[in-house]
A and B are shown apart, each in its own frame.
Chain A
């Protein structure tokens, strides 16, 4: 009986906390009893070969941070607190910064569709995506993890400014891969869209930023040998009930996740929660970096297709403009210094 009560409470929590959004729902509105009943009746759709059907266009765009903010003590917001948090976050996105300050050198995000509030975004009441540890924070770094962070910082200092050479620029700026491409799949800030396609034996996840396709075999084949390393690692999937479980190893370490090592193992769990929600949970296990594994929940909501091509290299004037601008500034500074010396 108690078990059942706990289970019902769990369902309620899922309905309140994880669910989301649906394009028809009103921001901040609690689910009505009628809606809850409808959610109960909803059954997981199947593909022709009988797999749970995860296919479609999804977004994980969210205002919920990975880690719980320092000034927040609770795990779940009330509806009112959530509405206030969203209002505050959206206002910060829309506000005009002080003209003449460095922070002002960017677009007005509302004009360019880059602020999250104009598009579909996931509305959960969680105060952090991290659900374990229960404090909503990343676990403490191990000594090895601390040393790696210090070594990486020292290497960045040794290399010089990001504008000194193209190799110094962040890999996202260089259009190699975006931090949110995954795994784990994280909100990219904008264009956080995914398309899932299933066929017998495979699941493919197309990531809009920046046009990466994760092709995940489900046939139980052996993983790649340890020496074969890839940007997005080597993934294998299997079904546990109606949940797709994806295990990934063999990352090349060039796109570390929050300071992770190449030894990171990521376990992702994808499942249909309702017609408009895809549950997404991931566990990061990297004993070379964190003292314990951690788990986060970053559900996705229905997005609008198709996934537009993000051919980032072809149009990347920014790298050239930045490097040329930096060289001109150096030249000007050198000329200024020479003038001063000659005076």
Chain B
């Protein structure tokens, strides 16, 4: 119990120190750093809800059984401003998701990276996205599509 508190405290400390990592909640309380996973599956539903969107994914387990996973993603408000809508992510899109599993022992995880079959990242905004500066060079630090 005590150890858990210390770990949670360190997690919050790191998040604060990291500065840019400012999000709605301390991810380290909800997800398990010791359980990184990579899921390959098909998107079946996107819950566009705040503070975090949730992507539903059908994943085949090693026995060939289809298992449903829920993946926590960024605020839909931010994604929509980047031009990402339900039309950009059709149901049935195949993705590989690098994630950390939830601590609540269900099939939930926080999605770090969503990678399409051709290796492209799914959501990275472009300079032409509605929320982005609409001219000039790429904003410094913006990662181009792979």
Within 8 Å CB of B34, what residues of A? Answer: 100
B101-142 contacts to A, CB under 8 A, are 102-105, 108, 110-114, 121-125, 129-137, 139-142
Within 8 Å CB of B12, what residues of A? Answer: 162
Q: How far is the CB of A33 from chain B (nearest CB, A)?
A: 19
Within 8 Å CB of A314, what residues of B? Answer: 49-50
> Given contacts A90-B139, A113-B79, is CB(A102)–CB(B11) below 8 Å?
yes
Within 8 Å CB of A315, what residues of B? Answer: 47, 49-54
A-contact bits for B14-42, CB 8 A (1 contact / 0 none): 11001111111111111111101000000
Inter-subunit contact A113/B81 (CB<8 Å): yes
Q: Does A148 contact B (CB under 8 A)?
A: no
Q: Does A11 contact B (CB under 8 A)?
A: no
Q: How far is the CB of B114 from chain A (nearest CB, A)?
A: 6
Q: Does A27 contact B (CB under 8 A)?
A: yes
Within 8 Å CB of A309, what residues of B? Answer: 50
Inter-subunit contact A191/B77 (CB<8 Å): yes
What secondary structure prevails in chain A residues at the interface with B? Answer: loop
Inter-subunit contact A308/B52 (CB<8 Å): no
Q: How far is the CB of B111 from chain A (nearest CB, A)?
A: 7
Inter-subunit contact A108/B112 (CB<8 Å): yes
Q: How far is the CB of A249 from chain B (nearest CB, A)?
A: 29
From B26, B47, B51, contact of A310 by CB (8 A): B51
Inter-subunit contact B130/A318 (CB<8 Å): no
CA distance A308 to B85 in the complex (A): 13
Inter-subunit contact A304/B78 (CB<8 Å): no
From B8, B27, B47, B123, contact of A161 by CB (8 A): B8
Inter-subunit contact B133/A326 (CB<8 Å): no
CA distance A111 to B79 in the complex (A): 9
From B20, B47, B122, contact of A109 by CB (8 A): B20
